[in-house]
Every structure is written in C-alpha cells, then in structure tokens.
Amino acid sequence: MKGNPELNVNRPKAHRKAEITRQDPSASDNSNMPQVKLQPTVNYSDPLLRELVSHLRENRTQLREVWARNILDAKLLSAMSKEEIFSEVTSVYDNYVEVLETGSVDALQAYARNLSERIIPRGVETDEVIGIVLLLRDVLARSLFKKYQHDFNLLNRVLDAYEPAANRIANTVAVSFVQENVRIIRQQQEAIRELSTPVLQVRERLLILPIIGVIDSQRAKQLTEQLLRGIRNNRAKVVVVDITGVPTIDSTVANHLVQTVEASRLMGAGVIITGLSSEIAQTLVTIGVDLSKMNAVGDLQGGIELAEKMLGYKVKSVDSTAAEVEIDT
C-alpha cells in the first residue's frame, strides 16, 4: 500500500471542512488559557505610561504607517493584501494603546483571537504574528528613543515603564494566536478521527478501511455506513478492514464488526479483517463472536494478497485471460 501513489481517498475534502467548522468557537472558552507571566509588575497609573499613551495617540497616523511599511518590507503577512494589512494594523495599534492606557488586555485578547481565526485559514504562520508585534514594539521604542534621547535618565525610565507592558501585549497576541491554532488543529483532528476513517480504493474492486483509534457504537455505525456506500460507489468485491490501530474491542464493538462483515456480504462484497491482535482475538473468542464467519488474516499485506487472490479467482470465471494477469501481478 505504501508504494501505491494512486490511493484514492474517498471522502470529499469539502465535506470534511464543513464538519470542522461546525463547532461553536465560543465552546472552547479561555478559562484554561495559560497566562504567561512576564514582568507582572506593570504599574498602569505610572505617569510616565500616561505620557507615553498621549505620545502614541498624537503620532498615531505616522507610527502606524511606519509599522505597516516595516511589515511589508519584512514580507510578513504575505497572504494578505496591502489594504487588509493596513486596516488590521490600525485596529491592533489602537488596541495596543488601549492596553497601555487601561492595563486591561481583554479587548486586545478578543481582537487577537478574532484576527487569528480569520487569518489562520489563510495560512498565516505563528512567526509572522510574533514578527509583526515585535516590529510594533520596535517602532514604538524607536520613537520613544527619538523623543527622549536628550535626557538619558528619563529615556531609561520611560523604557522601563514601556517594556513590561509591551512584552505583555506581545505575549497576549502570540498566545492568542497559538491557542487559536491549537484549537483549530484539535477540531480538525477530532473531525478526522470521528468522521473520516477513509475508505481507500487500492485497485479496482478492492477497498481498504483502516480503522485507527477507539471505536464506540456511534463510530462503528458511521464506519459501516461509510463502507457500505463505498462498496456501492466503487463497485467493490473485496474489502480489507484493518484494525491494527484499534487498541481494544468490547462486545458491542465486536458485534458491530460482525454486522459490518455481514452487511458487506449482503451487498456482494467479501470482507477480510487484518491486524487482529492476539489480545483482541482472545476477547472475541471469550465473548462468543463466531470468528469462523470472519476472514481474518494476520497483517494488512497478507490481507491485500488474499484479496487479490479472491479478485483474481472471481475475474477468472468471467474472463480467463484477464485472470492470469491478475494473479501473476
């Protein structure tokens, strides 16, 4: 199977995507958000911070533009258009100043999550997001440097007040982005695990259903329905169900497996089960599953070989020359 580049994954991609987005984003609340504690001693009533805020407000237009240009020069957020970057930059800038003023990162956090949700699907990477926040930090620090360079002492104090706040902001944005990313990946994994055990067509008339992970009743039903549709759509005659990746099986699931085999047979397809560990085989015998009804073969390779023999034999009866070819390969 490994060497076969023509694996035909049956499940349409669009469908998978629809499943992924179905979960309500508010369901994963931020209660378990790891609060990164960097320099927790930001004193937001510091008069220096207030002075800083008014400086950033006064120079909003100019600083914002410098920042946007730096982002473009650094080729960050390349998935977005110039206009989009500029509009996001404005929002981030205003949120940024607000954090410095109020000390509350709530609004920024909400915005960063929202932004992440919008840009992750477009392929924006974590380093880009961290990059733009660090650029802003840099732009603002330079402007402070320029303003206070005549008084080295004052500059030091301003930077002392600014840096912890800026770090906190950078952290908030980066963590929000990473969390959003993790949430999306988790959702995708879950959706893939739950809904898309792929039915693979290895060659004409032969399907493989590799089952990975824990099977419960609900999933077993889904798998069976999917397999039966796959049999009809691919006109399959033999199906190899590989359960190497299934850790345990209880009696309910074992019965589902037997049902899958029988339902496939009703549609005229033979089923071969592979990867039945001795532990699972023992369980099946103990709970009284009739293994003689199942065509069990040790591993996937052996299962595919047997499947091809079965197909070859069946083809032979229709057209003996085709069968020779089939068996010899």
Partner 1 sequence: MQSPPNSEVRVEVRSTIDIVTARQQGREQAMALGLSSAEVTLVAAAISEIARNILDHAKRGEVVFSFVQRGSQRGLQVAANDQGPGIADIGLAMQYGYSTRRGLGVGLPGAKWLMDEFEIESAVGKGTKVTMRKWVKDENSQLNHSR
Partner 2 sequence: MQVPILKQGSYLIASIQAVLSDADMLQLRDDLADKVGQFRARGVIIDVTVLDVIDSFATRTLRGMVHMLNLRGAETVIVGIQPEVAFAMVQLGLTLEGVGTALDLEEGLAFLNQKTKVHAKPAK
235 near partner 2, judged by CB under 8 A: yes
Residues forming beta bridges with residue 210, ordered by sequence position: 242
Backbone angles phi, psi at 105, to 5 degrees: -95, 0
Residue 9 CB, nearest distance to partner 1 (Å)? Answer: 21
Task: Closer to partner 2 by CB, 179 or 234: give it.
Answer: 234
22's contact among partner 2, partner 1, none, with CB below 5 to 8 A by partner kind, is partner 1
310 near partner 2, judged by CB under 8 A: no
Which amino acid does the sequence have at 253? V
Cβ burial 208-235 (10 Å sphere, 16+ → b, else e) = bbbbeeebeeebbeebbebbbebbeebe
Alpha-carbon gap, residue 93 to 101, rounded angstroms: 12
Residue 263 CB, nearest distance to partner 1 (Å)? Answer: 12
23 near partner 1, judged by CB under 8 A: yes
Residue of 106, 127, 160, 225 that binds partner 2 (CB under 8 A): 225
User: Segment near partner 1 (CB under 8 A), from 21-29, 129-137, 202-210, 267-275?
Assistant: 21-29
Helix runs in 196-299, H state only: 217-234, 251-266, 278-286
User: Segment near partner 2 (CB under 8 A), from 13-21, 87-95, 170-178, 311-319?
Assistant: 311-319
Query: If residue 167 lies in a helix (H) or strand (E), which one and from where to where?
Result: helix 152-195
C-alpha distances (whole Å) from 45 to each of 53, 102, 111, 167 are 11, 9, 24, 17
Q: Of residues 253-272, which lie at the interface with partner 2 (CB under 8 A)?
A: 259-260, 262-269
Is residue 102 within 8 Å of residue 165, measured between CB atoms?
Answer: no
7 near partner 1, judged by CB under 8 A: no
13 near partner 1, judged by CB under 8 A: no
CA 107 vs. chain centroid, Å, equals 26
250's contact among partner 1, partner 2, none, with CB below 5 to 8 A by partner kind, is none
From residue 73 to residue 102, the character string flagging contacts with partner 2 as x (rule: CB under 8 A) and all else as - is ------------------------------
117 near partner 1, judged by CB under 8 A: no
From residue 224 to residue 263, the character string flagging contacts with partner 1 as x (rule: CB under 8 A) and all else as - is -x--------------------------------------
Residues forming beta bridges with residue 245, ordered by sequence position: 212
193 near partner 2, judged by CB under 8 A: no
Is residue 230 within 8 Å of residue 8, measured between CB atoms?
Answer: no
Residue 216 CB, nearest distance to partner 2 (Å)? Answer: 16
Residue 265 CB, nearest distance to partner 2 (Å)? Answer: 6
Query: If residue 183 lies in a helix (H) or strand (E), which one and from where to where?
Result: helix 152-195
Pairing type for strands 238-245 and 206-212 reads parallel
Is residue 236 within 8 Å of residue 230, measured between CB atoms?
Answer: yes
Residue of 12, 232, 279, 299 that binds partner 2 (CB under 8 A): 232
Alpha-carbon gap, residue 276 to 281, rounded angstroms: 6
Residues that bind partner 1 (CB under 8 A): 18-19, 21-24, 225
Residues that bind partner 2 (CB under 8 A): 224-225, 228-229, 231-232, 235, 237, 259-260, 262-269, 314, 316-318
